Amino acid sequence: MAWRRLSRLNLFRATSSSSINYLFSSTSPEVTRLSSLSASLSPQFPKLTGFSGYSRRWYSSNPGYAEAVTGGELVEVPLAQTGEGIAECELLKWFVQEGDEVQEFERLCEVQSDKATIEITSRFKGKIHQINFTPGDIVKVGETLLKILTDGHESNSLDRTSPVNTGTIDTDGENQSEMPSVSGGVLATPAVRSLAKQYGLDINQIRGTGKEGRVLKEDVLNYAISKGLICTPDTDKVETFNEGSESRSSFVSTSAYQDTTIPLRGFHRAMVKSMTLAARVPHFHYLEEINFSALVELKEAFKKENKDQSIKHTFLPFLIKSLSTALTKFPLLNSSLSEETNEVILKGCHNIGVAMATDYGLVVPNIKMVQSLSILEITKELSRLHELATHNKLNTEDVTGGTITLSNIGSIGGKFGSPLLNLPEVGIIALGRIQKLPRFDENGNIYPASVTNVTIGADHRVVDGATVARFCNEWKNLIEKPQLFLLHMR
Protein backbone atom coordinates (compact mmCIF):
# COMPACT_ATOMS: atom_id res chain seq x y z
CA MET A 1 0.00 0.00 0.00
CA ALA A 2 1.48 3.32 -0.98
CA TRP A 3 1.06 6.16 1.48
CA ARG A 4 1.22 9.77 0.44
CA ARG A 5 1.30 12.89 2.56
CA LEU A 6 -1.17 15.42 1.20
CA SER A 7 0.41 18.79 1.67
CA ARG A 8 0.70 22.09 -0.14
CA LEU A 9 4.03 20.96 -1.58
CA ASN A 10 2.65 17.72 -3.02
CA LEU A 11 -0.30 19.51 -4.62
CA PHE A 12 2.01 21.89 -6.45
CA ARG A 13 4.08 18.95 -7.65
CA ALA A 14 0.98 17.28 -9.01
CA THR A 15 -0.05 20.24 -11.15
CA SER A 16 2.41 19.22 -13.86
CA SER A 17 0.32 16.15 -14.72
CA SER A 18 -3.21 17.22 -13.90
CA SER A 19 -5.36 20.24 -13.16
CA ILE A 20 -6.25 20.93 -9.54
CA ASN A 21 -8.72 23.45 -8.21
CA TYR A 22 -8.40 24.01 -4.51
CA LEU A 23 -8.92 26.60 -1.85
CA PHE A 24 -6.77 27.04 1.26
CA SER A 25 -7.91 28.96 4.30
CA SER A 26 -5.71 29.35 7.41
CA THR A 27 -7.20 28.37 10.75
CA SER A 28 -4.00 28.59 12.83
CA PRO A 29 -0.27 29.17 12.36
CA GLU A 30 0.35 25.42 12.39
CA VAL A 31 -2.65 24.09 10.48
CA THR A 32 -3.87 24.71 6.92
CA ARG A 33 -7.39 23.60 6.02
CA LEU A 34 -8.02 22.20 2.56
CA SER A 35 -11.60 23.19 1.89
CA SER A 36 -12.18 21.75 -1.59
CA LEU A 37 -10.40 19.58 -4.08
CA SER A 38 -11.69 18.78 -7.55
CA ALA A 39 -10.58 17.04 -10.73
CA SER A 40 -8.32 14.04 -10.58
CA LEU A 41 -4.69 13.73 -9.63
CA SER A 42 -1.99 11.96 -11.61
CA PRO A 43 -2.30 8.15 -11.99
CA GLN A 44 -0.22 7.47 -8.87
CA PHE A 45 -2.81 9.36 -6.72
CA PRO A 46 -6.33 8.10 -6.08
CA LYS A 47 -9.27 10.32 -6.91
CA LEU A 48 -10.38 12.16 -3.79
CA THR A 49 -13.69 14.04 -3.68
CA GLY A 50 -15.66 15.65 -0.92
CA PHE A 51 -12.48 15.96 1.10
CA SER A 52 -12.07 18.31 4.03
CA GLY A 53 -9.58 18.28 6.85
CA TYR A 54 -6.23 19.46 8.05
CA SER A 55 -3.06 19.10 6.07
CA ARG A 56 -1.34 17.04 8.77
CA ARG A 57 -3.08 13.76 7.87
CA TRP A 58 -2.01 10.40 6.54
CA TYR A 59 -4.13 8.95 3.77
CA SER A 60 -3.98 5.62 2.04
CA SER A 61 -4.79 4.55 -1.47
CA ASN A 62 -6.11 1.28 -0.01
CA PRO A 63 -9.93 1.18 -0.42
CA GLY A 64 -10.43 -0.70 2.84
CA TYR A 65 -8.83 2.09 4.80
CA ALA A 66 -10.94 4.75 3.10
CA GLU A 67 -14.08 2.83 4.08
CA ALA A 68 -12.84 2.56 7.64
CA VAL A 69 -12.91 6.31 8.15
CA THR A 70 -15.98 7.15 6.09
CA GLY A 71 -17.86 9.93 7.83
CA GLY A 72 -14.93 10.64 10.10
CA GLU A 73 -11.32 11.70 9.92
CA LEU A 74 -8.16 10.18 11.31
CA VAL A 75 -6.49 13.23 12.85
CA GLU A 76 -2.84 13.37 13.83
CA VAL A 77 -1.96 15.23 17.02
CA PRO A 78 1.68 16.39 16.74
CA LEU A 79 3.86 17.78 19.49
CA ALA A 80 3.57 21.52 19.03
CA GLN A 81 6.24 24.11 19.81
CA THR A 82 6.11 24.43 23.61
CA GLY A 83 8.50 27.36 23.88
CA GLU A 84 11.20 29.34 22.14
CA GLY A 85 14.19 27.18 21.29
CA ILE A 86 12.50 23.93 22.37
CA ALA A 87 13.15 21.17 19.82
CA GLU A 88 12.07 18.10 21.79
CA CYS A 89 10.30 17.02 24.98
CA GLU A 90 10.20 13.98 27.20
CA LEU A 91 6.84 12.22 27.42
CA LEU A 92 6.05 11.85 31.13
CA LYS A 93 2.66 10.14 31.13
CA TRP A 94 -0.57 9.53 29.22
CA PHE A 95 -4.00 10.48 30.53
CA VAL A 96 -5.74 8.41 27.82
CA GLN A 97 -5.48 4.94 26.28
CA GLU A 98 -6.20 3.58 22.83
CA GLY A 99 -9.96 3.23 22.41
CA ASP A 100 -10.86 6.00 24.87
CA GLU A 101 -13.39 8.65 23.88
CA VAL A 102 -12.07 12.19 24.29
CA GLN A 103 -13.70 15.61 24.25
CA GLU A 104 -12.29 18.92 23.09
CA PHE A 105 -9.77 20.43 25.55
CA GLU A 106 -9.51 17.13 27.42
CA ARG A 107 -6.02 16.26 28.69
CA LEU A 108 -4.10 13.83 26.51
CA CYS A 109 -0.59 13.65 27.96
CA GLU A 110 2.05 15.45 29.97
CA VAL A 111 5.45 16.36 28.51
CA GLN A 112 8.53 18.01 29.94
CA SER A 113 10.89 20.28 28.07
CA ASP A 114 14.16 21.78 29.24
CA LYS A 115 12.20 24.62 30.78
CA ALA A 116 8.82 23.43 32.01
CA THR A 117 6.23 20.67 32.34
CA ILE A 118 3.26 21.04 29.99
CA GLU A 119 -0.06 19.26 29.54
CA ILE A 120 -1.17 18.61 25.95
CA THR A 121 -4.93 18.85 25.38
CA SER A 122 -7.10 17.67 22.52
CA ARG A 123 -8.44 20.04 19.87
CA PHE A 124 -10.79 17.34 18.59
CA LYS A 125 -13.67 15.20 19.78
CA GLY A 126 -13.39 11.53 18.95
CA LYS A 127 -11.78 8.21 19.85
CA ILE A 128 -8.10 7.53 20.51
CA HIS A 129 -7.07 5.43 17.53
CA GLN A 130 -3.34 4.99 18.05
CA ILE A 131 -0.66 6.09 20.54
CA ASN A 132 2.83 6.31 19.11
CA PHE A 133 5.04 6.85 22.16
CA THR A 134 5.41 5.51 25.67
CA PRO A 135 6.38 7.40 28.87
CA GLY A 136 10.11 8.09 28.91
CA ASP A 137 10.38 8.55 25.14
CA ILE A 138 11.90 11.72 23.69
CA VAL A 139 9.50 13.29 21.19
CA LYS A 140 10.70 15.88 18.71
CA VAL A 141 8.55 18.91 17.89
CA GLY A 142 6.33 18.00 14.93
CA GLU A 143 6.29 14.26 15.57
CA THR A 144 2.87 12.65 15.90
CA LEU A 145 2.00 11.87 19.51
CA LEU A 146 -1.22 10.03 18.73
CA LYS A 147 -4.11 9.76 16.27
CA ILE A 148 -7.74 10.53 16.97
CA LEU A 149 -10.64 9.20 14.94
CA THR A 150 -13.12 12.06 14.97
CA ASP A 151 -16.93 11.79 15.14
CA GLY A 152 -16.67 8.53 17.06
CA HIS A 153 -16.09 6.32 14.00
CA GLU A 154 -14.04 3.19 14.50
CA SER A 155 -11.51 1.83 12.09
CA ASN A 156 -11.64 -1.90 12.86
CA SER A 157 -11.49 -2.74 9.17
CA LEU A 158 -7.92 -1.43 9.07
CA ASP A 159 -5.55 -4.32 9.69
CA ARG A 160 -2.29 -2.67 10.68
CA THR A 161 -0.55 -6.04 10.78
CA SER A 162 -1.38 -6.81 7.19
CA PRO A 163 1.55 -6.44 4.77
CA VAL A 164 -0.86 -5.00 2.20
CA ASN A 165 -1.79 -2.11 4.45
CA THR A 166 1.68 -1.40 5.79
CA GLY A 167 3.84 -0.42 2.89
CA THR A 168 6.58 2.17 2.78
CA ILE A 169 5.67 5.62 4.04
CA ASP A 170 6.55 8.28 1.50
CA THR A 171 7.08 11.56 3.28
CA ASP A 172 8.94 13.39 0.54
CA GLY A 173 11.98 13.74 2.76
CA GLU A 174 10.11 14.56 5.96
CA ASN A 175 10.74 12.87 9.29
CA GLN A 176 9.50 9.29 8.95
CA SER A 177 9.41 8.73 12.69
CA GLU A 178 6.05 10.48 12.80
CA MET A 179 4.33 7.16 11.99
CA PRO A 180 4.72 3.92 13.94
CA SER A 181 7.04 1.61 12.10
CA VAL A 182 5.40 -1.65 10.99
CA SER A 183 7.63 -4.23 9.40
CA GLY A 184 7.21 -7.96 8.90
CA GLY A 185 3.87 -8.00 10.73
CA VAL A 186 5.24 -6.38 13.93
CA LEU A 187 3.84 -3.15 15.37
CA ALA A 188 6.17 -1.05 17.55
CA THR A 189 7.16 2.55 18.13
CA PRO A 190 10.52 3.87 16.88
CA ALA A 191 11.79 4.06 20.47
CA VAL A 192 11.06 0.37 21.07
CA ARG A 193 12.72 -0.60 17.78
CA SER A 194 15.75 1.45 18.77
CA LEU A 195 15.90 -0.39 22.11
CA ALA A 196 15.77 -3.77 20.37
CA LYS A 197 18.53 -2.67 18.00
CA GLN A 198 20.61 -1.55 20.98
CA TYR A 199 20.66 -5.13 22.28
CA GLY A 200 21.15 -6.60 18.79
CA LEU A 201 17.72 -8.27 18.79
CA ASP A 202 15.44 -9.02 15.86
CA ILE A 203 12.16 -7.37 16.82
CA ASN A 204 10.25 -9.77 14.55
CA GLN A 205 11.16 -12.60 16.94
CA ILE A 206 9.76 -10.82 20.00
CA ARG A 207 6.20 -11.60 21.05
CA GLY A 208 4.28 -8.38 21.69
CA THR A 209 1.95 -8.11 24.68
CA GLY A 210 0.50 -4.72 23.79
CA LYS A 211 -2.77 -3.97 22.07
CA GLU A 212 -3.09 -5.78 18.75
CA GLY A 213 0.24 -7.50 19.37
CA ARG A 214 2.28 -4.32 19.72
CA VAL A 215 5.81 -4.87 21.03
CA LEU A 216 6.41 -2.86 24.20
CA LYS A 217 9.60 -1.90 26.01
CA GLU A 218 8.93 -4.58 28.62
CA ASP A 219 8.71 -7.21 25.89
CA VAL A 220 12.14 -6.24 24.56
CA LEU A 221 13.70 -6.24 28.04
CA ASN A 222 12.16 -9.60 28.97
CA TYR A 223 13.37 -11.11 25.70
CA ALA A 224 16.86 -9.71 26.33
CA ILE A 225 16.83 -11.30 29.81
CA SER A 226 15.83 -14.67 28.35
CA LYS A 227 18.79 -14.43 25.98
CA GLY A 228 21.16 -13.66 28.84
CA LEU A 229 21.87 -10.15 27.61
CA ILE A 230 20.56 -8.58 30.84
CA CYS A 231 20.90 -9.87 34.39
CA THR A 232 17.83 -9.33 36.57
CA PRO A 233 18.38 -7.47 39.85
CA ASP A 234 17.21 -10.50 41.89
CA THR A 235 19.63 -12.92 40.18
CA ASP A 236 21.76 -13.60 43.21
CA LYS A 237 24.41 -16.26 43.54
CA VAL A 238 25.46 -17.86 46.80
CA GLU A 239 29.10 -18.82 47.00
CA THR A 240 30.66 -20.89 49.80
CA PHE A 241 34.29 -20.45 50.80
CA ASN A 242 36.12 -22.99 52.96
CA GLU A 243 38.92 -21.68 55.14
CA GLY A 244 40.22 -24.57 57.26
CA SER A 245 37.36 -25.72 59.44
CA GLU A 246 35.36 -22.57 58.90
CA SER A 247 32.92 -21.86 56.12
CA ARG A 248 31.09 -18.71 55.26
CA SER A 249 28.44 -17.74 52.74
CA SER A 250 28.64 -14.63 50.65
CA PHE A 251 25.69 -13.27 48.70
CA VAL A 252 26.96 -11.78 45.46
CA SER A 253 24.50 -9.85 43.29
CA THR A 254 25.37 -10.08 39.64
CA SER A 255 23.67 -6.75 39.04
CA ALA A 256 25.43 -4.92 41.86
CA TYR A 257 28.58 -4.39 39.81
CA GLN A 258 26.99 -3.50 36.49
CA ASP A 259 27.20 -0.04 34.97
CA THR A 260 23.98 1.95 35.01
CA THR A 261 23.12 4.45 32.32
CA ILE A 262 20.98 7.39 33.40
CA PRO A 263 19.61 9.49 30.53
CA LEU A 264 19.69 13.26 30.92
CA ARG A 265 16.10 14.45 30.80
CA GLY A 266 14.07 17.56 31.58
CA PHE A 267 15.63 20.05 33.98
CA HIS A 268 18.82 18.00 34.26
CA ARG A 269 19.44 18.44 30.52
CA ALA A 270 18.76 22.16 30.85
CA MET A 271 21.32 22.41 33.65
CA VAL A 272 23.96 20.66 31.53
CA LYS A 273 23.43 23.12 28.69
CA SER A 274 23.41 26.15 31.00
CA MET A 275 26.55 25.14 32.90
CA THR A 276 28.40 24.33 29.68
CA LEU A 277 27.70 27.85 28.44
CA ALA A 278 28.62 29.39 31.80
CA ALA A 279 32.04 27.70 31.76
CA ARG A 280 32.92 29.69 28.63
CA VAL A 281 32.23 33.06 30.27
CA PRO A 282 35.01 34.79 32.28
CA HIS A 283 33.60 35.26 35.76
CA PHE A 284 34.87 35.82 39.30
CA HIS A 285 33.60 35.36 42.86
CA TYR A 286 33.38 37.79 45.73
CA LEU A 287 33.04 36.46 49.30
CA GLU A 288 31.62 38.39 52.25
CA GLU A 289 30.38 37.65 55.76
CA ILE A 290 27.04 39.09 56.86
CA ASN A 291 25.68 39.30 60.41
CA PHE A 292 22.12 37.96 60.49
CA SER A 293 21.50 38.61 64.21
CA ALA A 294 19.03 41.47 63.63
CA LEU A 295 17.30 39.51 60.89
CA VAL A 296 16.93 36.49 63.20
CA GLU A 297 15.14 38.67 65.76
CA LEU A 298 12.94 40.18 63.02
CA LYS A 299 11.96 36.72 61.78
CA GLU A 300 10.97 35.62 65.29
CA ALA A 301 8.82 38.75 65.63
CA PHE A 302 7.08 37.90 62.33
CA LYS A 303 6.40 34.35 63.54
CA LYS A 304 4.88 35.55 66.84
CA GLU A 305 2.53 37.98 65.11
CA ASN A 306 1.60 35.56 62.34
CA LYS A 307 -2.11 34.69 62.43
CA ASP A 308 -2.22 32.98 59.02
CA GLN A 309 -1.04 29.38 59.45
CA SER A 310 -0.70 28.95 55.69
CA ILE A 311 2.19 31.46 55.66
CA LYS A 312 5.63 30.30 56.76
CA HIS A 313 8.04 33.14 57.48
CA THR A 314 11.67 32.54 56.47
CA PHE A 315 14.74 34.70 55.85
CA LEU A 316 14.49 34.38 52.07
CA PRO A 317 11.64 36.88 51.35
CA PHE A 318 13.45 39.63 53.27
CA LEU A 319 16.73 38.82 51.50
CA ILE A 320 14.98 38.94 48.12
CA LYS A 321 13.32 42.29 48.83
CA SER A 322 16.49 43.88 50.22
CA LEU A 323 18.42 42.52 47.22
CA SER A 324 15.97 44.32 44.92
CA THR A 325 16.57 47.56 46.83
CA ALA A 326 20.34 47.19 46.40
CA LEU A 327 19.89 46.48 42.68
CA THR A 328 18.13 49.84 42.33
CA LYS A 329 21.42 51.55 43.21
CA PHE A 330 23.54 49.14 41.17
CA PRO A 331 21.50 48.29 38.03
CA LEU A 332 24.54 46.81 36.29
CA LEU A 333 24.09 43.66 38.42
CA ASN A 334 20.56 43.35 37.00
CA SER A 335 21.55 43.27 33.34
CA SER A 336 22.58 40.96 30.49
CA LEU A 337 25.15 41.12 27.71
CA SER A 338 24.13 40.96 24.06
CA GLU A 339 27.11 39.43 22.27
CA GLU A 340 25.56 40.04 18.84
CA THR A 341 25.32 43.81 19.28
CA ASN A 342 28.06 44.11 21.93
CA GLU A 343 25.67 45.97 24.25
CA VAL A 344 24.69 45.69 27.89
CA ILE A 345 20.93 45.58 28.50
CA LEU A 346 19.82 47.00 31.85
CA LYS A 347 16.68 45.14 32.88
CA GLY A 348 13.75 47.26 33.97
CA CYS A 349 12.25 44.57 36.23
CA HIS A 350 13.87 42.75 39.13
CA ASN A 351 12.89 39.16 38.32
CA ILE A 352 14.83 37.38 41.06
CA GLY A 353 15.30 33.65 40.56
CA VAL A 354 15.54 31.19 43.45
CA ALA A 355 17.39 27.91 42.86
CA MET A 356 15.38 24.91 44.08
CA ALA A 357 16.60 21.32 44.31
CA THR A 358 13.76 18.89 43.50
CA ASP A 359 13.40 15.18 42.81
CA TYR A 360 13.25 16.12 39.13
CA GLY A 361 16.49 18.11 39.15
CA LEU A 362 17.63 21.68 39.80
CA VAL A 363 15.15 24.33 38.69
CA VAL A 364 15.30 28.14 39.01
CA PRO A 365 11.84 29.76 38.98
CA ASN A 366 11.82 33.52 39.43
CA ILE A 367 9.64 36.02 41.23
CA LYS A 368 8.55 38.71 38.79
CA MET A 369 8.83 42.46 39.51
CA VAL A 370 10.11 42.14 43.06
CA GLN A 371 10.57 45.92 43.29
CA SER A 372 6.78 46.32 43.29
CA LEU A 373 5.98 43.54 45.79
CA SER A 374 5.81 43.58 49.57
CA ILE A 375 7.68 41.07 51.71
CA LEU A 376 4.40 39.30 52.45
CA GLU A 377 3.57 39.07 48.74
CA ILE A 378 7.04 37.68 48.04
CA THR A 379 6.49 35.08 50.79
CA LYS A 380 3.26 33.89 49.15
CA GLU A 381 4.77 33.82 45.65
CA LEU A 382 7.81 31.89 46.91
CA SER A 383 5.50 29.34 48.51
CA ARG A 384 3.53 28.95 45.27
CA LEU A 385 6.65 28.40 43.18
CA HIS A 386 8.05 25.89 45.68
CA GLU A 387 4.81 23.90 45.63
CA LEU A 388 4.78 23.77 41.83
CA ALA A 389 8.46 22.83 41.68
CA THR A 390 7.97 20.01 44.18
CA HIS A 391 5.27 18.45 41.99
CA ASN A 392 7.03 19.25 38.70
CA LYS A 393 4.26 21.61 37.63
CA LEU A 394 6.18 24.80 36.85
CA ASN A 395 5.17 26.45 33.59
CA THR A 396 7.34 28.27 31.09
CA GLU A 397 6.44 31.69 32.49
CA ASP A 398 7.71 30.70 35.95
CA VAL A 399 11.20 29.68 34.79
CA THR A 400 11.95 32.25 32.10
CA GLY A 401 12.80 35.95 32.21
CA GLY A 402 15.00 35.91 35.33
CA THR A 403 17.48 38.77 35.82
CA ILE A 404 19.57 37.57 38.81
CA THR A 405 19.65 34.32 40.82
CA LEU A 406 19.77 33.58 44.55
CA SER A 407 20.89 30.12 45.69
CA ASN A 408 20.36 29.20 49.35
CA ILE A 409 22.84 26.33 49.79
CA GLY A 410 22.71 26.94 53.53
CA SER A 411 19.31 25.25 53.70
CA ILE A 412 21.12 22.00 52.88
CA GLY A 413 24.13 22.65 55.10
CA GLY A 414 26.94 24.23 53.07
CA LYS A 415 28.96 27.09 54.53
CA PHE A 416 29.80 28.69 51.20
CA GLY A 417 29.97 27.84 47.50
CA SER A 418 31.21 29.13 44.16
CA PRO A 419 28.07 29.35 41.98
CA LEU A 420 28.23 29.38 38.19
CA LEU A 421 26.35 32.03 36.23
CA ASN A 422 22.81 31.38 35.10
CA LEU A 423 23.23 32.98 31.68
CA PRO A 424 22.28 35.43 30.29
CA GLU A 425 22.20 36.86 33.83
CA VAL A 426 25.24 38.83 34.98
CA GLY A 427 25.14 37.87 38.67
CA ILE A 428 24.36 34.93 40.95
CA ILE A 429 24.47 34.80 44.76
CA ALA A 430 25.02 31.78 47.03
CA LEU A 431 24.05 31.94 50.72
CA GLY A 432 25.71 29.64 53.25
CA ARG A 433 24.14 28.33 56.44
CA ILE A 434 23.81 30.59 59.50
CA GLN A 435 26.32 29.85 62.23
CA LYS A 436 26.48 31.02 65.84
CA LEU A 437 30.05 32.34 66.18
CA PRO A 438 31.89 34.68 68.58
CA ARG A 439 32.53 38.20 67.31
CA PHE A 440 33.92 41.46 68.70
CA ASP A 441 31.82 44.59 69.14
CA GLU A 442 33.08 48.16 68.77
CA ASN A 443 34.44 48.12 72.33
CA GLY A 444 36.36 44.90 71.87
CA ASN A 445 33.90 42.76 73.83
CA ILE A 446 33.06 39.28 72.58
CA TYR A 447 29.42 38.52 71.81
CA PRO A 448 27.58 35.67 69.97
CA ALA A 449 26.57 36.51 66.42
CA SER A 450 24.51 34.71 63.76
CA VAL A 451 26.71 35.02 60.68
CA THR A 452 26.62 33.55 57.20
CA ASN A 453 28.91 33.62 54.18
CA VAL A 454 27.68 35.17 50.95
CA THR A 455 29.37 34.44 47.63
CA ILE A 456 28.60 36.58 44.58
CA GLY A 457 29.51 35.28 41.14
CA ALA A 458 29.65 37.92 38.40
CA ASP A 459 30.27 38.14 34.67
CA HIS A 460 33.64 39.91 34.40
CA ARG A 461 32.77 41.10 30.91
CA VAL A 462 30.11 43.39 32.38
CA VAL A 463 31.08 44.20 35.98
CA ASP A 464 34.35 44.51 37.88
CA GLY A 465 35.31 43.61 41.44
CA ALA A 466 34.86 47.14 42.80
CA THR A 467 31.26 47.35 41.55
CA VAL A 468 30.39 43.99 43.09
CA ALA A 469 32.03 44.98 46.40
CA ARG A 470 30.01 48.22 46.63
CA PHE A 471 26.83 46.39 45.69
CA CYS A 472 27.46 43.75 48.36
CA ASN A 473 28.17 46.41 51.01
CA GLU A 474 24.84 48.09 50.22
CA TRP A 475 22.94 44.81 50.51
CA LYS A 476 24.84 43.84 53.68
CA ASN A 477 23.95 47.15 55.34
CA LEU A 478 20.24 46.60 54.68
CA ILE A 479 20.37 43.08 56.14
CA GLU A 480 22.38 43.95 59.25
CA LYS A 481 20.28 47.07 59.96
CA PRO A 482 16.67 46.31 58.93
CA GLN A 483 15.54 49.66 60.33
CA LEU A 484 17.46 51.39 57.51
CA PHE A 485 15.61 49.23 55.04
CA LEU A 486 12.38 51.00 56.03
CA LEU A 487 13.74 54.23 54.58
CA HIS A 488 13.69 52.69 51.09
CA MET A 489 10.21 51.16 51.31
CA ARG A 490 7.53 52.63 49.06
Question: Is 100 annotated as catalytic?
Answer: no
Q: How far apart are CA 237 and CA 251, in angstroms?
A: 6
Residue 97 near residue 146, CB atoms below 8 Å: no
Residue 287 CB neighbours (<10 A): 13
Q: How far apart are CA 154 and CA 129, in angstroms?
A: 8
Q: How far apart are CA 353 and CA 407, in angstroms?
A: 8
Please name which of 120, 115, 14, 56 lies closest in space to residue 362, comparing C-alpha atoms. 115
Q: For the residues of 304-370, what is the DSSP string, one character each?
A: HH---TT----HHHHHHHHHHHHHHH-GGGGEEEETTTTEEEE-SS--EEE-EEETTEEE--EETTG
Q: What long-range pairs does 213-219 form, CB within 8 A, spacing at least 24?
A: 213/161, 213/186, 213/187, 214/187, 214/188, 215/186, 215/187, 215/188, 216/134, 216/188, 216/192, 217/134, 217/136, 217/191, 217/192
Residue 217 CB neighbours (<10 A): 18
CA 158 to each of CA 46, 90, 96, 166: distance values in angstroms, whole numbers, following the listed order? 18, 30, 21, 10
Please name which of 259, 260, 239, 258 lies closest in space to residue 249, comparing C-alpha atoms. 239
Q: How far apart are CA 31 and CA 53, in angstroms?
A: 10
Phi, psi for residue 294 in degrees, rounded to 5: -65, -35
H or E element at residue 484: helix 482-485
- 151, 172, 202, 464: which is the annotated catalytic residue? 464
Q: 211: which residues sit within 8 A by CB, 6+ positions away?
A: 98, 99
Question: Is 460 annotated as catalytic?
Answer: yes
Q: Considering Cα of 85, then 91, then 93, then 94, what sign does the dihedral take? A: positive
Residue 321 near residue 328, CB atoms below 8 Å: no
Residue 337 near residue 426, CB atoms below 8 Å: yes
Please name which of 132, 146, 101, 129 lies closest in space to residue 216, comparing C-alpha atoms. 132
**Residues classed as catalytic:** 460, 464
